[in-house]
């Protein structure tokens, strides 16, 4: 593992991040301990919980309410089809 001080890493942080993305073990020494850089997967299914503090059930109810509102707006003629041009 390549270990760097924070000041060393700061000089070329982008390159160190790319090396970590390509599988190289990279770590920063902070207060005598090594903090490793590792790519992680972000799962969108728990995003609402972490970002807004809502449960999966609450998220689903909100989704259904928005779908119903959009459906009503379409029926009432309050929506336009997006053609890709503003």
Residue 25 confidence (pLDDT): 94
pTM over 0.85: no
- Residue 47, token pair as written in the block: 């995003």
Spacing of C-alpha 61 from chain mean position: 23
What percentage of the chain has pLDDT greater than the value 90? 66
Summarised one tens digit per residue, pLDDT across range 30-55 is 999 999 999 987 767 777 888 888 88
- Residue 81, token pair as written in the block: 């089809």
Cα 4 from Cα 15, distance rounded (Å): 13
Residue 82 confidence (pLDDT): 84
Q: What is the torsional sign of CA 25, 31, 33, 39?
A: negative
At 63, is the secondary structure helix, strand, or coil?
helix
């Amino acid at each position: 593992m390549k270990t760097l001080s924070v000041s060393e890493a700061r000089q070329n942080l982008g390159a160190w991040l790319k090396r970590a993305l390509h599988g190289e073990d990279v770590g920063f020494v902070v207060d005598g301990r090594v903090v490793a850089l590792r790519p992680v997967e972000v799962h969108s299914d728990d995003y609402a919980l972490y970002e807004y503090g809502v449960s999966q059930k609450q998220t689903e109810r909100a989704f259904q309410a928005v779908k119903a509102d959009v459906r009503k707006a379409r029926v009432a003629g309050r929506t336009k089809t997006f053609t890709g041009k503003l």
